[in-house]
């Protein structure tokens, strides 16, 4: 579930509010968004991906809360790690040319089981 919106990094653009498919955040005038309905978070990591300043952290845990420490997350290279792994530039989809999924296909080219 979403565990962190960094006060230092957030620029109040509300991209996460828009991106979340489950309406977990509420936007607030002149303030950083608030995690208003944590129980609705499905842990899809897409708010994090859509954050232009890598201010969000989604813990992978579905049901349990995880106490997170921003400095430690930064030290472990976890803030923005999904975006970097995909090769996104800002909010723009990019980096698919480096996708090596073809190695996972069967020798005849049939896509591998899902």
Partner 1 sequence: MSPMADDIRLTTDVLVLGGGPAGAWAAIAAAESGASVVLADKGRVGTSGATAAANTAVIDVAPDGKSCEHVLKRRLDKGLGLVRPDWVERMVDETHSQLGRLAGWGYAFPTDDRGALYRGSLRGPDYMQILRRRAQKLGVKLLDHSPALDLLVGGDEVVGGRGVGRKGGPWQVRAGAVVVATGGCAFMSKALGTYGLTGDGLLMAAEAGAALSGMEFSGQYGISHVAATVTKNLIYDWATFSDESGRTLEGEDIFELLAEHLPRGPVYAIVDKATPSIQEGLRRGQPNIFLPLDRQGVDPFRQRFPVTLRYEGTVRGVGGLAISKNGATSVPGLYAAGDAASREPVVGAVSGGGGPNSTWAIASGVWAGRSAAAHSAKLGAHAHERRAEPARRDGSLEGGAPAPEDVTAWIGVAQSEMFPLERNFTRDEAAMRGSLDRLGAAWRAIRAAGPASHDARLLRRRREAAAMLAAARWIYASALERRETRGIHRRRDYPQLSPGAPARLEARGLDRVAVESAR
How is residue 12 written in tokens? Answer: 């109040």
The site string for partner 1 over 32-71 (x = CB under 8 A, - otherwise) reads: -----x--x-xxxxx--xx-------xxxxxxx-------
In whole angstroms, the minimum distance from the beta carbon of 96 to partner 1 comes to 5
In which residue are the tokens 């997350």 written?
A: 73
Helix (H) or strand (E) holding 35: strand 31-35
**C-alpha dihedral sign at 35, 82, 22, 60:** negative
Asked if residue 74 binds partner 1 (CB under 8 A), the reply is no
- Judge contact between 55 and 79, C-beta under 8 A: yes
Q: By the criterion CB under 6 A, which residues form the site for ligand FAD? A: 21, 114
Q: By the criterion CB under 8 A, which residues form the site for partner 1? A: 18-23, 37, 40, 42-46, 49-50, 58-64, 78, 81-82, 85-86, 88, 92-105, 108-114
């Amino acid at each position: 579930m979403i565990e962190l919106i960094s006060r230092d990094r957030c620029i109040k653009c509300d991209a996460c509010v828009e991106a979340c498919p489950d309406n977990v955040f509420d936007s607030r005038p002149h303030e950083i968004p608030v995690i208003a309905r944590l129980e609705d978070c499905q842990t899809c990591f897409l708010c994090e991906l859509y954050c232009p300043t890598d201010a969000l952290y989604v813990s992978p845990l579905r049901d349990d809360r995880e106490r997170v420490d921003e400095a430690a997350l930064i030290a472990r290279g976890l803030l923005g790690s999904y975006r970097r792994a995909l090769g996104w530039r800002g909010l723009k989809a990019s980096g698919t040319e480096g996708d090596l999924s073809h190695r996972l296909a069967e020798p005849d080219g049939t896509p591998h089981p899902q």
